[in-house]
Amino acid sequence: MLHLKVKAKDIRLSLPIPYAMLNIGISILSSKFIHQQANKWTKDYFERKKLDLTIPPLDKKLLKLIVEELKNHKGIVLVDVKAKDGTEVLVRL
């Protein structure tokens, strides 16, 4: 399970994210429909800035292999950020 903790001035938020939800999110974000929509949404911006870029498709199999490997390293801290204003973000397996 992925644990996300955010501490700000007025808010303390702790979200446990099960690996099943992470796999569902990977499936949605790597779908062909989302990829087509992302390219369509950014097309006008790239044309205005005269950039020749497209968003590459995400490889679902590779991302799921990464999640499977992360399951073997429980307790490791992935992100630990503290801002000057006191905001903290912690992501731990």
Neighbours of 46 (CB within 10 A): 14
For position 48, what pLDDT does the model report? 85
Per the structure, the complete domain to which residue 35 belongs is given by 2-92
pTM given for the model: 0.69
For the stretch 44-72, pLDDT in tens is 888 888 887 777 888 899 999 988 998 89
For position 38, what pLDDT does the model report? 87
For position 49, what pLDDT does the model report? 83
Domain count for the chain, please give it.
1
Tell me how far CA of residue 32 lies from CA of 9, 29, 37, in angstroms. 40, 9, 9
Check if the beta carbon of residue 71 is closer than 8 Å to that of residue 20: no
Give me the percent of the chain exceeding a pLDDT of 90. 49
Residue 42 reports pLDDT greater than 90: no
Residue 4 reports pLDDT greater than 90: yes
